[in-house]
Structure 1
Amino acid sequence: MSKTILITGASSGIGKATAIHFQKQGWNVIATMRTPEKETELNELENVQLEKLDVLDLESIDHAINNGISRFGRIDAIVNNAGYGAYGPLESFPRENIIKQFNTNVIGLMDVTKAIIPHFRANKDGVIVNISSIGGQMTFALGSLYHGTKFAVEGISESLHYEMAAIGVKVKIVEPGFIATDFGGRSFDFQAGEIEEYKPLINALMQQWQNPNNTVTPPSLVAEVIFKAVTDDSEQLRYRAGDDANFLLDSRKKMTDDEFFKMMNSQLGN
């Protein structure tokens, strides 16, 4: 009997690549997104069910899970991928954007997870994969909102793995580096603002992001790492995705705060 995975944020990027990868490996896929009526690729694949799910809408979460179980009998794994990145000076962000960042990346993730746990507990089995980032272990300038949410995802996941072990469920964290679709896409919210003092930092950061020598990871590689996390049957908690993730996280662990800040500031011309 084929296993079944539910993926949030499956309309593009990592979520879509993960849906395609699992389907190719013979899994049933519940691909969830806010506007499934606009999807033109996943709906053509066998054993892929599109479901409307907005992580800010509790009713849509329950509806997607119940529909998936109704069609495929059970859900064996879930990937909490939906989210977005807010970058810019904290001063420049309206409060509603701050709330949206945390509601989407943290509260929404917890609501989806909480909704699937009774099903996993009844089966005494299941895998929860939470998509974090290198930004859940280290920070970059102007990312106080985004990094705040990813640090939260790391803490939630690490703590959750203890209680889930008691009911036979595994928790995994996947930490991608820079993804080819990160910047300028639908899931990126940059607020530069008009405050003069921040403009040199903003300009320096923009130049770094646009550097053609930067290493970026294709979503398909992250999908492969997610597949390993779901299927390796290990107790491993964290999985890195991308050469830049390995380099930056290893560098962060080896350096003192002062050494790391000096390296990062040098990249910004400071």
Structure 2
Amino acid sequence: MTRTVLITGCSSGIGRASAEAFLDEEWTVYATARNPADIETLGEHDDCRIATLDVTDEGDVERVVDRILDEEGRIDALVNNAGYAQLGPVEEVPTDAVADQFDVNVYGPHRLIREVLPAMRRREDGAIVNVSSAVGRMSFPGGGVYAGSKYALEAMSDALRNEVREYGISVSLVEPGPVDTGFDERAESEVEGLERTGAYDFFHGLFEDYDAVGGGGGFLSVTPERVAEDVVDAASSTKPPARYPVGPMATVAEVGRLLPARVVDALWGLAAKFT
């Protein structure tokens, strides 16, 4: 029987690459995005259905999940990919921007998970794949709000994994470092929209240096297609790993989180001297 996957945030980057990778593996794919025009070409594939889905809209979530269950009778995998990065020093990020960040990156996946789980539990089968980030394991100056949302997603996933194991449902986190996508363009626009206090030149210098050397398109980045490989594996494997770190920066984050805080703080202090 053909397996069915629901993927959020398919307009570009990891989401689009994941949709194409699942299609290559002969899954039935429900590719979603806030703007259906962005995914119109995906719908040209015989096994791909497209749908409008804003993960912050409870009605959208219910409508799309109900449609899939009506048409396919099952959802074998959910890929929570939609997200963005609200960067900036904690003091400079308005509280409403923090709320928006969590609405998309945390509450969005939670809405989808709650909606698909009853059907998965009834079948005692399914996979939930949450696309996190290397910063879900190790934060950085100017990334507290974004990393906080990913820390929350990681914690929620760790709890969920053990809550649904008895129902034959797997929960995995895919944790890429920088990815060569348009993701950085939105992150840059979010930073530019902040009202600077003048107190955090260190962060803004780091961000400008990162952008100058190519940002997500630099030599430490990975392609969306590489991340999609792990997304498909997490959805397809009988016993997938709890975490899939992707790329060199994800490996650095894995090691960095084990270091004492005083060592990490000293390294950031050293970085500040060269900014």
TM-score, length-scaled by structure 2: 0.91
- Following TM superposition, by how much is the alpha carbon of 1:188 offset from its aligned partner in structure 2, in angstroms? 6.3
Aligned twin of 1:7:
7
Q: From 190, 208, 211, give the equivalent of 2:210.
A: 208
Partner of 2:151: 151
* Pairwise CA distance, 1:235: 5.0
Q: CA deviation at 1:74?
A: 1.4
Give the match's secondary structure for 2:61: helix
Is 1:140 aligned with 2:144? no
Indicate whether 1:93 and 2:93 are aligned: yes
SS in 1 for 2:2: coil
Bigger mean CA offset, 110-119 vs 33-42: 33-42
Partner of 1:246: 251
**How high is the sequence identity, in percent, across the aligned residues?**
32
* Whole-Å separation in 2 of the counterparts to 1:204 and 1:243: 19
Specify the alignment match of 1:237 in structure 2: 242
Q: Are 1:84 and 1:187, in contact at CA under 8 Å, matched by a contact in 2?
A: no
Q: Distance in 2 between matches of 1:21 and 1:265?
A: 42
Match of 2:229 in 1: 224
Structure 1: how far apart are the matches of 2:246 and 2:267?
A: 22
Structure 1: unaligned runs, 5 residues or longer: none
Query: 1:180 deviation in Å?
Result: 1.2
C-alpha separation in 2, matches of 1:17 and 1:6? 14
Report 1:44-193 matches (<5 A). 44-181=44-181, 182-185=183-186, 189-190=190-191, 191-193=193-195
- Say how many residue pairs are matched: 269
Identify which range, 75-84 or 239-248, moves more after superposition: 239-248
Contact 2:84 2:186 in 1 (8 A): no
Q: Please say which of residues 182-191 and 3-12 is displaced more in the overlay.
A: 182-191
The structure 1 residue matched to 2:263, chosen from 256, 259, 266, is: 259
Partner of 1:224: helix, strand, or coil?
Answer: helix
Moved more, 193-202 or 168-177: 193-202
Per-residue displacement from partner, 1:217-246 (whole Å, max 9, x unpaired)?
111100001111112211521111112212
1: CA distance between counterparts of 2:184 and 2:226?
A: 18
* Aligned residues of 2:233 and 2:240 also touching (Cα < 8 A): no
Native 8 Å contact 1:21 1:223 kept in 2: yes
- Distance change >3 Å, CA 186–CA 244, structure 1 → 2: closer
Quick check: 2:76–2:127 contact (8 Å CA) kept in 1? yes
- For residues 238 and 226 of structure 1, the distance between their equivalents in structure 2, rounded to whole angstroms, comes to 11
Is 1:197 matched with 2:199? yes
CA contact (8 A) 1:83 1:105 kept: yes
**Offset of residue 192 of structure 1:** 4.1
Q: Is the 8 A contact 1:86 1:188 kept in 2?
A: no
Change (3 A) 1:41 1:188: farther
TM-score normalised by L of structure 1: 0.93
Q: Secondary structure at the match of 1:244?
A: helix
Runs of 4+ in 1 over 6 A off after TM superposition: none
Q: Which runs of 5+ in 2 are unaligned?
A: none
Alpha-carbon separation, structure 2, partners of 1:193 and 1:130: 32
**Equivalent residue letter for 1:183:** D
